[in-house]
Amino acid sequence: MGQRFTENAKKFDGDSRGKPILHFVKWDLLVLGLVGMLAVTTFLSVYLYHNHMKANTGDLFAVLTVDGEEVLRVDLSQSTEQKLYSPIEGNPDFVVCIENGQACIEKSNCKDQICVAVGFLSKPGDMAVCIPNRAVLKIVSEEPSSGEKPYDVISQ
Amino acid sequence: MLFSNQKQICAHARQYLSVCLLCGILLSSLSGCGAKKNTATVNFFSMNTYMTITAYGKEADLAVEAAKLRVYELENLFSRTLDTSEVSLINQNAGIKPASVSADTYKVISLALEASRETDGAFDITIAPVMDLWGFTTDTYYVPSSDERLAAAELVDYQYVELDESSQTVFLTKENMEIDLGGIAKGYASDEVQRVLSSYDVDAAMISLGGNVAVFGEKEDASLWKTGIADPFDLSSCVGILTDTDISVITSGGYERNFTQDGKTYIHIMNPDTGEPAESDLASVSIISADGSQGDTLSTALFVMGSEKAMQFWRSHQDFSVVLVTSDGEILASKDLVGTFAASEGNEVTFFS
């Protein structure tokens, strides 16, 4: 084997004065090949995972929070018939409606009625806010990257 | 034996190590494609609206919490409904004596008066008595008589506000006058939020203070932020999208708050000259600017002016960009937005110069 290394050295370089000379042999190429394959496999895995995340819209939920605390969570994929909820304790006049994969604030005891005027929400990130009740009804997705909106934020 | 002597073994080992190191770097950089920046978001109610601040970077968590506290701090100074605020103190002393205020209150009122001068009074913080009369402060709406409107309008004039820089005081010279910072407070807060976030190790942020938007830095995929401008006739969609960064985008429109009585709709944006809701041919005005305070004041002022005067105002200033949506649904954008603003599907934009 030692002889073969020396032969290779002569063949590819010819410089055999003093310093050790480095040259590839078949084992080196095998190791390089394996590492290269590993790199390509990793790259493909990451790439495919990202594409999968983008394509997967995930299950949608309607979530109501009051002062940041979650008081209602309904799986929209399970909703076909209309269902009404009064999730705020001591406030039966605040009503959330879930129907056909959509959600809205059906009724509110606030004066401005802005939250009711928003109407049905269906896409991830859609939101209706009731400032007097400090309540936020939002559509959320299990997959964080599944936004369907063409924008990141909206100015209104 | 593969090698003939010890030196060759060492050399070959080094070669292996180098190759492995290179591959290691390659692998880690590839897997880095999937790594996400540290992200933190706070959602909270303040200044009578709902706010969201999202930051990206090493100190994102600390930064968003500090920004939230800063907004609360400003709310406590600027609120008109909080008896202990500095704005309440100024209003309580109207026609009596000057009130000493903090640097923030002094600065925001200075900026507001500057905007009033710039817009010839189309933006005016002394509009408060008119807002009260129409019930927009309490959501108990009322259409006042012409005598009542006239009496309230008498109290509206930004030139009745006196500032003294040396003593840091604000004085409303007429009794019963009141100021309301609703048309500038969120813009000022947005600038302050950006300032606080920038003092931490934060690479990018997306701020929405009740629809007053500011974005800075690049998104995680190194692209620019896409800021939608709400369709004033259907708030669930947008008329167009701005692709840019390091800007604030502030929109005002009659759709935000209004009431209808006897078939007529009254909006919350008041004309300081008449003491009545602005009779504008505009449905919304969006100001794109590096300065949130400027954006906030100009979005109201240009709405009051109407489309012709608003476009004229842009021509004579050009230190901001603007998107106007008329009550007929026409979208007009200043020509400096060519390349950054695009109408949404089904809409058309006309760039004016």
Q: What is the pLDDT of residues B115-172, one digit of tens each?
A: 999 999 999 999 999 999 999 888 888 999 999 999 999 999 999 999 999 999 999 9
Q: What are the φ/ψ torsions at residue B63 (nearest 5 degrees)?
A: -65, -45
Question: Over chain B, what is the mean pLDDT?
Answer: 91
Q: Which residues in chain A are contacts of B45 at CB distance < 8 A?
A: 67, 131, 134
Same domain for A127 and A74: yes
- Crossing angle (nearest 10°) for helices B103-118 and B292-305: 40
Domain shared by A45 and A96, yes or no? no
Q: What residue type is assigned to position A38 of the chain? A: L
Among residues 136-165 of chain B, which lie with CB inside 8 Å of chain A? Answer: 139-140
Residue of A nearest to B34 (CA): A46
| Mean pLDDT score, B338-343 | 96
pLDDT one-digit tens code per residue, A105-139: 999 999 888 899 889 998 888 889 999 999 999 99
Question: What's B165's DSSP letter?
Answer: T
- Claim to verify: residue A65 and residue A114 sit in the same structural domain: yes
pLDDT at A36: 83
Q: Does residue A124 lie in a domain region?
A: yes
The closest CB to that of A5, out of B8, B26, B211, belongs to B8
Of B341, B347, B296, B348, nearest to B125 by C-alpha is B296
Say if residue A55's pLDDT is above 50.
Answer: no
Is there a single domain that holds both residue A20 and residue A76? no
Q: Among A55, A72, A95, where does a domain finish?
A: A55
Do A26 and A95 belong to one domain? no
- Most A CBs within 10 Å, among B41, B190, B213, to test the A interface: B213
- Could you write out the three-class secondary structure of B289-321? ECCHHHHHHHHHHHHHHCHHHHHHHHHHHCCCE
> pTM for the complete prediction?
0.79
Tell me, yes or no, whether A123 lies in a domain.
yes
Q: Give the range with max mean pLDDT: A57-66, A147-156, B195-204.
A: B195-204
Higher pLDDT, A59 or A2: A59
pLDDT band at B26 (very low <50, low <70, confident <90, very high): low
Residue-level pLDDT at B4: 52
Q: Are residues A68 and A114 in the same domain?
A: yes
Residues of A in contact with B3 (CB under 8 A): 1-2, 5
Domain span including residue A124: 60-141
Length of chain A (residues): 156
Q: Are residues A45 and A72 in the same domain?
A: no
B47: nearest Cα among B88, B78, B70, B91: B78
- Where on the phi/psi map is residue B348: left (φ > 0), alpha (ψ -120 to 50), or beta? beta
The answer to whether residues A38 and A86 belong to one domain is no
Partner-chain residue, chosen from A1, A131, A149, that has the shortest CB–CB distance to B49: A131
- Per the model's pLDDT, the better-predicted residue between B210 and A145 turns out to be B210
The DSSP string of A22-64 is ----HHHHHHHHHHHHHHHHHHHHHHHHHHHHHH----EEEEE
Q: Is A28 on the interface with B (CB under 8 A)?
A: yes
pLDDT of B296 higher than 60: yes
Q: Is B21 on the interface with A (CB under 8 A)?
A: no
Q: List CB contacts (< 8 A) between A46 and chain B.
A: 30-31, 33-34
Indicate if A26 and A65 belong to the same structural domain: no
In a domain, A9, yes or no: yes
Work out the pLDDT band at B1, boundaries 50, 70, 90: very low
CA dihedral sign of residues B306, B311, B312, B317: positive
Which range of B22-26, B171-175, B259-263 scores highest in mean pLDDT? It is B171-175
The reply to whether A45 and A70 lie within a common domain is: no
Residue ending a domain, among A55, A81, A100, is A55
In Å, what is the CA distance from B88 to each residue of B85, B128, B195? Answer: 5, 12, 26
pLDDT at B28 over 80: no
- For residue B284, what pLDDT is reported? 96
Name the B residues in 44-63 with CB < 8 Å from any A CB. Answer: 44-45, 48-50
A to B CB pairs, distance under 8 Å: 128
Q: Is residue A148 part of a domain?
A: no
Residue A38: its chain B contacts at CB < 8 A? 23, 27
* Residue from the list B14, B48, B251 with its beta carbon closest to the beta carbon of A155: B251
A89 and A103 share one domain = yes
CATH assignment at residue A114:
2.60.320.10
- Whether A147 is covered by a domain: the verdict is no
Q: Which two tokens stand for residue B307?
A: 């489309």
* All structural domains of chain B: 81-179 (1.10.3980.10), 224-352 (3.10.520.10)
Any B CB within 8 A of A10 CB: no
Number of domains, chain A: 2
Q: Decide if A149 is inside a domain.
A: no
Asked if residue A42 has pLDDT above 80, the reply is: no
ipTM value greater than 0.85:
no
State residue B318's pLDDT score: 93
Mean pLDDT is highest, among A22-31, A45-54, A72-81, B202-211, for B202-211
Evaluate whether residue A135 is within a structural domain.
Answer: yes
Q: Which of A8-22, A84-98, A134-148, B280-294 is predicted least confidently? A: A8-22
Nearest CA in chain A to B219: A152
Strand order in the sheet with A135-141: A69-75, A60-66, A135-141, A127-130
- pLDDT of amino acid B76: 97
Last residue of a domain, one of A36, A55, A74: A55
Domain identity same for A33 and A99: no
Answer yes or no: is A155 within a domain. Answer: no
Residue A6 scores a pLDDT above 70: no
Residues of A in contact with B49 (CB under 8 A): 131
B31–chain A nearest CA distance, Å:
7
Count Cα neighbours of A88 within 13 Å in the Cβ-side half-sphere: 22
Stretch among A40-54, B101-115, B306-320 having the lowest mean pLDDT: A40-54
Which of B46-60, B172-186, B247-261, B310-324 is predicted least confidently?
Answer: B247-261
pLDDT at A147 over 80: no
> Which has more pLDDT, A102 or A9?
A102
Q: What pLDDT sits at residue B8?
A: 60
Q: Does residue B91 surpass a pLDDT of 50?
A: yes
Please say if the pLDDT value at position A152 is more than 50. yes
- Cβ contact, residue pair B31, A42, below 8 Å: yes
